[in-house]
Amino acid sequence: MKQRDYSAGISGCHYAVRNSIGSLVMNRLPGAVRLTRRPSPEGRNFLVRDDNGSVYSYAHSPKEKERHYTLEIVSLTKTFLTDVLGYVENEDGSLTEGIAGNVHISLFYETENGGRPVRHRLYDCVVSPPTFDVQTLGETLSADTRKLELTANPDPHRDGAYSTQIARADNAQLFDSWFGLKGQV
């Protein structure tokens, strides 16, 4: 069965990173307009023969346990650039692109399902530096988005879960505090 891309318009985007004492710190990520999930690569069956002549069948690659997403965003905040993408703020306030670390984040966002808001969280995401296009300005101006590639991994603290979601009808208290969660996320 061929997998298809899944795309959703999003709002209320936030991200969380762990601070030096292990608590998660939530930050707004304004300007996010779309999140697309790309299909995972399909497994390949092949045979491996060891030195003793034994044959093993291998069906999955470790990459199949990852979920791949593209987040389209109009602009990136200074906090996101420094916390997640490894930018360094200079004394004069300018930013210098550094070497992106292997920072793991949780991504929080909201979609609509049948006119009802649903809030989501992707666990244990690694973010690649953004792609973007630069053009000479003409008579018209359109907002070009940057595209962040996210790789979500199963969270070992949540029995391998990749994501979770909540609707107000399911638990209004949790829904209302979703973007303000501290420590327990």
Confidence band, pLDDT 50/70/90 cuts, at residue 14: very high
Chain segment 120-140, per-residue pLDDT in tens:
999 889 998 888 666 666 666
| 152 close to 66: Cβ distance less than 8 angstroms | yes
Q: What confidence score (pLDDT) does residue 108 get?
A: 94
Dihedral sign computed on CA atoms, order 49, 54, 57, 60:
negative
The C-alpha angle with vertex 181 and arms to 180 and 185, in degrees rounded to 5, equals: 150
Report the pLDDT averaged over residues 112-127. Answer: 88
Q: Residue 185: is its pLDDT beyond 50? A: no
Tokens of 88: 């360094």
Chain segment 147-177, per-residue pLDDT in tens:
999 988 888 777 888 888 989 889 989 998 8
Q: What confidence score (pLDDT) does residue 120 get?
A: 92
In angstroms, rounded to a whole number, what is the distance separating the alpha carbons of residues 83 and 130?
Answer: 14
Provide the strand spans (E) within 42-101.
46-49, 55-58, 67-73, 88-89, 95-96
Q: What confidence score (pLDDT) does residue 5 get?
A: 54
Tokens of 150: 């996210």
Q: How many CB atoms lie within 10 A of CB 18?
A: 13
C-alpha closest to that of 38 among 8, 7, 64, 60: 7
Q: What confidence score (pLDDT) does residue 182 get?
A: 47
Q: Which residue has the higher pLDDT, 74 or 3?
A: 74
Dihedral sign computed on CA atoms, order 176, 73, 98, 78:
negative
| 38 close to 69: Cβ distance less than 8 angstroms | yes
Chain segment 86-102, per-residue pLDDT in tens:
899 999 989 988 776 67
Residue 127 belongs to what H/E stretch?
strand 116-127
